[in-house]
Every structure is written in C-alpha cells, then in structure tokens.
Amino acid sequence: MIAPSILSADFARLAEEISAVGGEPGKRADWLHVDVMDAHFVPNLTLGLPVVESILKTTDIPIDCHLMIDDPDRWAPGYAEAGAHNVTVHVEAAHDPVNLAKDLRAAGAKAGLAIKPGTNFDDYVEVLKHYDTLLVMSVEPGFGGQKFMAEVLDKARKARRLVDTGHLKLLVEIDGGINAETIEQAAEAGVDCFVAGSAVYNAEDPAQAIEALRATAAPAFAHARA
C-alpha cells in the first residue's frame, strides 16, 4: 500500500494535488496520509480538523490521519467522527491508549498507534493488541524531507513476526524518508503500507511515482515472506 503524504503537496492547489493521486488502478493511492501537527507535540504547525473535513469532501481515497498532537485522547475521536478511515495517535502523547483505541473504533475509524524512532517497541506490544495499525516513524516527527533512519526497521520486523504468528492483528505502516531506494528495505522488513511525501509529490508525475514505488515494494515484501 502506498499512502502519499500531502505534507509535500502544494497547499495552494490541494484539491488538484489530491486528484493527481486518485486516478486509475495501479497508479492510485491506497490511502491519503494527512499530517496534523499542533506546534506543541512537535515544533511544526500544519492543519487541523476543518481542513480534514474539506479534504473528505473532495476525494474517495481513504484518509489516513496522523495526529502529531498533544492530548489525542480529547481530539482524535473528532477525526474519526468526521470520516477519516484510519486515525493514528502517538503513544508518547496518549494518556490512555487502550481506551483511546476503543473510542476511535466506536467513532467509525481504524485505530493507529505511532511510535517515534527512540520509543521502545517492546514496551507497547500489549497495547498494540487493541490497534489496527502500527505506524513506525523512520524520521523524527515534525517535518518532511528528513533522512530515512534504517535502524527503526527492527521494530517493523518484530511487528511483522508478531502479526505472522497471530499475536497481533494489525497493518504495519512506515513514515519518513520513503523513496525508491528505501522502500525496498522497508518492504523486506515486512512493512505493509508506505507513507511517501516528496517521493510522490516532487515527481513530475505523482501517479507514475506511486506505480513505481509499489512495483519496487511488492516483490521485496513477497520475497521476504517466502
């Protein structure tokens, strides 16, 4: 699965940029990744619920909201209620991640849990039993265009093993520095869904970039599972 991040899109042409990744099969985004930042949990400030609500009116691509915000227990359910397909919160910010997952699901969304590069995956295995998605951050959250941190792939491998053995039932997603070179490494580690910002939106043809990324990831993922 390829989830283009609109953080790298031209915000002045956002409807057009979203349309550019919503076309024919094979070149169509599986999810549209929307980064919500509050200038508190992370130093950057992006967009909030009103913009997400507007995006939901313009596309049928499932919206993947990544909330890099303080107090997600209070604010995250609103994104689910608005119609986001997947709402991801940071375990470092959540007060009660288990109850928050229940709230997100009750509001109609899949529940995602994100972990920063420095956060220990093993500490949250039991919590992840309540979630539908694990988002492994392969950069420090807050800004696009950072260099991929390959050392976090061990978390993806651990998660993949737990999914394959039935201990977890979730989708493994990765966010940060994903491009034509790094996506193969991540796929080999067992990642299901790849968030790609500049690799898609800095390309001359975003739809073609999606097709190329998927073509690189699919055989690597299949080979690693064989």
Q: What span, in angstroms and rounded, lies between the C-alpha atoms of 67 and 225? A: 31
- Count other Cβ atoms within 10 Å, centred on residue 140: 14
| 66 labelled ligand-binding | yes
Q: Would you say 143 is a known binding-site residue?
A: yes
Closest of 145, 132, 121 to residue 200, by C-alpha? 145
| Residue 198 marked in a binding site | yes
Residue 35 among known ligand-binding residues: yes
Question: In angstroms, what is the C-alpha Rg of the chain?
Answer: 16
> Is 108 annotated as ligand-binding?
no
Q: Is 22 labeled as ligand-binding?
A: no
83 is in an annotated binding site: no
Q: Is 11 annotated as a binding residue?
A: no
144 annotated ligand-binding residue? yes
Separation between Cα atoms, residue 41 and residue 78, nearest integer Å: 18
175 is catalytic: yes
Catalytic residue among 35, 38, 132, 192: 35
Residue 35 falls in the annotated catalytic set: yes
Catalytic residue, chosen from 64, 103, 132, 175, is: 175
Was 95 annotated as part of a binding site? no
Could you identify the residue written with the tokens 């043809």? Answer: 205
- Residues facing residue 112 across a β-bridge: 88, 133
**Which of 82, 127, 89, 90 has the alpha carbon at shortest distance from 108?**
82
Are 210 and 21 in contact, with CB atoms under 8 Å apart? Answer: yes
Q: Is 78 annotated as a binding residue?
A: no
Residue 132 near residue 100 (C-beta atoms within 8 A): no
Write the single-letter amino acid at 125: V
Indicate the annotated binding residues for a divalent metal cation.
33, 35, 66, 175
Annotated binding site: 5, 33, 35, 66, 142-145, 175-177, 197-198
Binding-site residues for substrate: 5, 66, 142-145, 175-177, 197-198
Give catalytic residues, as residue numbers.
35, 175
